[in-house]
Chains A and B, each alone.
Chain A
Amino acid sequence: MTKEELAVLEAKAKEIRCKTIDAIGFLGVGHIGGALSIVELLALLYFKEMRVDPENPRWPGRDRLVLSKGHAGPALYSALAMKGFFPEEWLHSLNKGGTRLPSHCDRNLTPGIDMTTGSLGQGLSAACGIALANRLEGRDSFTFAIIGDGETNEGQNWEAALFAAHQKLGRLVAFTDYNKMQIDGRTEQVLDLGKLEEKWAAFGWESARVDGHDIAAIAAAVEAAKARAAKPDAKPTMIVLDTIKGKGAAFCEGSVGSHNMAFDYETAKKAIAELG
């Protein structure tokens, strides 16, 4: 990745971050922590790696994303709005009655959302089904999935892990947002995930672990997965992202309480101003 390209993506990440803080702050409460920890990943996916058409959100040839940690929807909505899937004005309708942008992702409400999620642990299975269908149709589309670290407690992920490896879903590329925090505390205190990347490798996945706020590092891992997928019998890929919950907003960065947090619009504006 060139320096110029990286600078563009970093600017996109900042914009996603600002819009997400703004949207949740405008409402006054929301899942800010786990939204801000995946901002760099979303910037990379939507502004470099993913083949999508905002004019035709269900274009069969597109790459798909299942945001299994559906509560991070506001970050994804920011990226989708910037990409042109819907007007940016929608962002201020977050969670209002009748909105097209609910707290958790809904494939029937929001253009660009590929799967309804929110009940944790279910998205990776759906991503497997999507990847299978794409393979049956002979499409070269990639299916991306983002799961949370707390979400990884759910056993269904490990059923899906076995299945994806068994089916050799080489065009399935998943990410774990490993921000080390879940609602009741640090993951190591609530339910220790141990050596997470080794667990995925043991389940038959290609596995990598990178700094989830380093766009170039994530890009390298995604490019490696894409290169492998070109070969027959490629394994699915899990990229564990070391991230920081609430990244980039001083009022919530690194705080367990940022999972679902109330903050006023002034706080949001101040945080956005600090991002420059």
Chain B
Amino acid sequence: MATPAKEMRAVYAETLVELGAKNKDIVLLEADLMKASGTGPFQAAYPERTFDVGVAEANMVGVAAGLSAEGKIPFAATFGCFATRRVFDQFFVSCAYARLNVKLVGTDPGVSAAFNGGTHMPFEDLALMRAVPGIAVLEPSDAASLRGLVAAAAERKGSVYMRLHRKAVPDLYPAGEKFEIGKAKLLREGKHVAIVALGSIMVNEALKAAELLAKEGIEASVVDALSVKPLDAELVLREARKCGAVVTAENHQASGGLGSAVAELLAETGAARLARIGVKDEFGEVGTQDYLQDRFGLRAANIAEAAKALAKA
């Protein structure tokens, strides 16, 4: 499908405006990045339910917890680096441990932070958030999955961390497709290797990798993980057992996030051999997203190479 004109952040804002019309408990928090998050339309529609706390992420998360304690459903966004490593304890204690209902959105995941560079490039947000008991950790891969997962997050009783790629990305699903927390989607069915990918960048690279592999007679399944926690163990295991080989692909450290979640599942079941594509224990740096994908080995070629080695092993 063609790249849509609409940016993901616009879809995020639109979805919240729609949900907010039906549910007046939905409130929005920003920490002086409303322009970056693109949530101005929510503020325009519901100014009384919009709180820009200034450059004060810890307070934003604490205020969200308090709002949630009174039954509000706060969506709080900031860059993913700040949404996780900067406020980890605030989110851990005041939101998750308190069994509250805060939806924390981390924008600019991984290399999509591009020119903001290493300080702003979360390659570890999923690793951190996976360690928080009971929460859901999500990364939509296109506009439809973003809509679906934002709605699912609002419905869920419990805190959520969701990565949000702000820019326009290619559509993968038709409008109206249903999404659930904890459910992955099978985008392509193969029998030699299963590629389990996360987020727009890597799901699209995985689809390209499957094309490259097909030319060499290797049929790859492509699974869009969507939910790192809970992981869709059923779908991942089914594809893993069928293919006997799995490659994970994420815009994140290869350890701690999706790759580790899948590795744990496969190690415990002995279902398949595994290779992980992701950042190899390095910090981020400045550059275009294109440059950074090359720099950190987040390309279809990297996935295909790993898949080929596994499939032939």
Contact = CB atoms under 8 A, between A and B. Distances in A.
A156 B63 contact: no
A108 B98 contact: yes
A118 B48 contact: no
Interface residues of A, number: 33
Nearest to A105: B98
Nearest to B59: A159
Interface in A88-110: 106-108
A126 to B, nearest CB: 4
Nearest to B97: A116
Given A136-B72, A163-B56, A125 B98 contact: no
Interface in A123-165: 123-134, 136-137, 155-156, 159-160, 162-163
A133 B72 contact: yes
B48 A132 contact: no
B56 A159 contact: yes
B62 interface: yes
A127 B56 contact: no
Contacts of B63: 125-126, 128-129, 132, 160, 163
B56 to A, nearest CB: 4
B93 A107 contact: no
A115 interface: yes
B71 interface: yes
Given A116-B98, A136-B48, A163-B59, A125 B66 contact: yes
A128 B53 CA distance: 11
Contacts of B51: 132, 167
Nearest to B58: A156
B67 A156 contact: no
Nearest to B56: A159
Contacts of B61: 125
A131 B49 CA distance: 13
B204 to A, nearest CB: 38
B90 interface: yes
Contacts of A166: 54
B94 interface: yes
A129 B64 contact: yes
A114 interface: yes
Interface string B62-103: 111111111110100000000000000110011001110000
Contacts of A124: 62
Contacts of B89: 119, 122
Nearest to B96: A116
A159 B63 CA distance: 11
Contact of A129 (B54, B68, B97): B68
Contacts of A133: 66-67, 69-72
Nearest to A108: B99
A132 to B, nearest CB: 6
Given A119-B93, A122-B93, A156-B59, A130 B98 contact: no
Nearest to B99: A108
A198 B112 CA distance: 45
A166 B51 CA distance: 11
A228 to B, nearest CB: 22
Contacts of B48: 136
Contact of A128 (B66, B72, B74, B97): B66
Given A115-B98, A116-B93, A119-B89, A126 B54 contact: no
Given A116-B93, A132-B67, A133-B67, A125 B54 contact: no
Interface string A164-180: 00110000000000000
Contact of A122 (B56, B68, B74, B94): B94
Nearest to B98: A116
Interface of B: 27, 48-49, 51, 53-54, 56, 58-59, 61-72, 74, 89-90, 93-94, 97-99
